[in-house]
Amino acid sequence: MLELRNITKRFDDFCLKEVSFSIDQGDYFILLGESGAGKSMVLETIAGLVAPDSGNILLNDKDITSEKIQNRKIGLVFQDHAVFPHLTTGENIAYSLHGTEMKKEEKHEKVKAVAHELGIVHLLKRKPGTLSGGELQRVALGRTLIQQPEVLLLDEPLSSLDTRLKGDLRRLLRAIHRKGQTILHVTHDYEEALSLGTRIAVIYQGRIIQSGSPAEVFHHPKSEFVAHFIGVKNFFAVNVVTENQASFAYTADKIPVRIVTDLPDSEGFILIRAEDILLSVLPVETSATNNFKGKVVEIVPNAGGIDVTVDMGMELHAQITRESLEKLGLITGKVCWAHFKASAVKFINI
């Protein structure tokens, strides 16, 4: 339905480089990337606010690259909603109906219907200065949805909201999507991407580096950036060598990690979940085939417990409980052993 082909745009200190992806009708497409990666620029280029230096944008097979902004049938909700402060909520929502052939009463009814769908009928006569962040985001959505755009572009719609409001707005976005709206949603939050998206593309330094279903992207990250971005900390580039029917993935530091694979000698990445790494303060015999001696370099509490970084020639992150930390007496600088099974190591061939 919407296709970007090799979109390139140079700015003073930034560049979008040959950005290409396609969105099918009914998709909830997530463009995932860190701040400054070019996500908002991609949206503004699709909307027509920025003209690309090269490349094409197609909507329903029609090239709209040079089409006027007003004629693109694409709706854009800005990161900070950009609701007009001098107009009431109702006037904001009705803004795009100007110049249409609708009668005043019809416009009024349409505004009410959209406001009702978004739960903001009671706010129609209020000015934006008196509304909360969540309410403003709904007004911005209503203002855009009333045009019935072919594609709805959302620029970090949840970033300025607190946790409770985020949940509310996510439910609303799912509801809008279920009604058939095609959505392109830009975010830096991978959990948001997982919870909403049907397809994901990862953008880094102005370039799409991976795209696919959420499962493909998150279970088979194709680069260290993607892996770290989605919260995988143990991600290493390796060369796999099979010796005497045992496969070893050699990291850049020449550390041999035992893995299970049928693939011949090849290059790729290994990914080890922090929860799969066990720590001990003594060299113990375990069923794990990967046992490395190292030193604790960092201990950081997180939502799941404690992240312990062990330097064993390469830095490994282990996720343990506070209880375990205290039982083992782990402190920065202490020598310890890290253990994990070969089957816990996921090898991603490139």
Helix axes 133-145, 163-178, angle to 10 degrees: 20
Strand partners, 310: 296, 316
Q: By the 8 A CB rule, do 350 and 267 touch? A: yes
Shortest approach of another protein to residue 205 CB, angstroms? 24
Q: Residues 129, 180, 329, 333: which binds another protein (CB under 8 A)?
A: 129
Q: Residues 45, 65, 137, 144: which binds another protein (CB under 8 A)?
A: 144
Shortest approach of another protein to residue 139 CB, angstroms? 11
Q: Residues 20, 22, 147, 242: which binds another protein (CB under 8 A)?
A: 147
Range in contact with another protein (rule: CB under 8 A) among 9-17, 69-77, 106-114, 184-192: 69-77
Shortest approach of another protein to residue 33 CB, angstroms? 20
Q: For residue 159, give the amino acid letter.
A: S
For another protein, the closer of residues 47 and 173 by Cβ is 47
Q: Residues 51, 69, 215, 246: which binds another protein (CB under 8 A)?
A: 69
Token pair, residue 17, equals: 């480089």
Q: Residues 24, 53, 63, 80: which binds another protein (CB under 8 A)?
A: 80
Contact flag: residue 143 with another protein (CB under 8 A):
yes
Contact flag: residue 11 with another protein (CB under 8 A):
no
Backbone torsion region of residue 243, taken as left when φ is above 0, otherwise alpha when ψ lies between -120 and 50, otherwise beta: beta
For another protein, the closer of residues 4 and 83 by Cβ is 83
Cα(152)–Cα(144) distance, integer angstroms = 8
DSSP state of 298: E
Q: For residue 13, give the amino acid letter.
A: D
For another protein, the closer of residues 34 and 91 by Cβ is 91
Angle subtended at Cα 49 by Cα 44 and Cα 51, rounded to the nearest 5 degrees = 95
The beta strand positions in 90-212, using DSSP E, are 151-155, 182-187, 199-204, 207-212
Taking alpha carbons only, the member of 179, 69, 157 closest to residue 59 is: 69
Shortest approach of another protein to residue 41 CB, angstroms? 13
Helices in 204-302 by DSSP H: which ranges?
214-219, 224-229
CB atoms closer than 10 angstroms to residue 71: 9
Range in contact with another protein (rule: CB under 8 A) among 5-13, 29-37, 72-80, 257-265: 72-80
Q: Please, which of residues 83-122 interact with another protein by CB under 8 A?
A: 84-86, 95-96, 98-99
State which H helix or E strand residue 246 sits in.
strand 246-251
Contact flag: residue 159 with another protein (CB under 8 A):
no
Contact flag: residue 75 with another protein (CB under 8 A):
yes
Cα(282)–Cα(276) distance, integer angstroms = 18
Range in contact with another protein (rule: CB under 8 A) among 11-19, 47-55, 177-185, 187-195: 47-55
Q: For residue 184, give the amino acid letter.
A: L
Contact flag: residue 70 with another protein (CB under 8 A):
yes
Contact flag: residue 76 with another protein (CB under 8 A):
yes
Size of the site for another protein (CB under 8 A): 24
Cα(186)–Cα(287) distance, integer angstroms = 44
Residues contacting residue 136 through CB under 8 Å, at least 6 positions apart: 81, 83, 128
Strand order in the sheet with 266-272: 256-259, 246-251, 234-243, 266-272, 345-349
Q: Please, which of residues 26-45 interact with another protein by CB under 8 A?
A: 44
For another protein, the closer of residues 147 and 251 by Cβ is 147
Shortest approach of another protein to residue 65 CB, angstroms? 16
Contact flag: residue 339 with another protein (CB under 8 A):
no
For another protein, the closer of residues 151 and 193 by Cβ is 151
Binding positions for another protein, rule: CB under 8 A:
44, 47-49, 69-70, 74-76, 78, 80, 82, 84-86, 95-96, 98-99, 127, 129, 143-144, 147
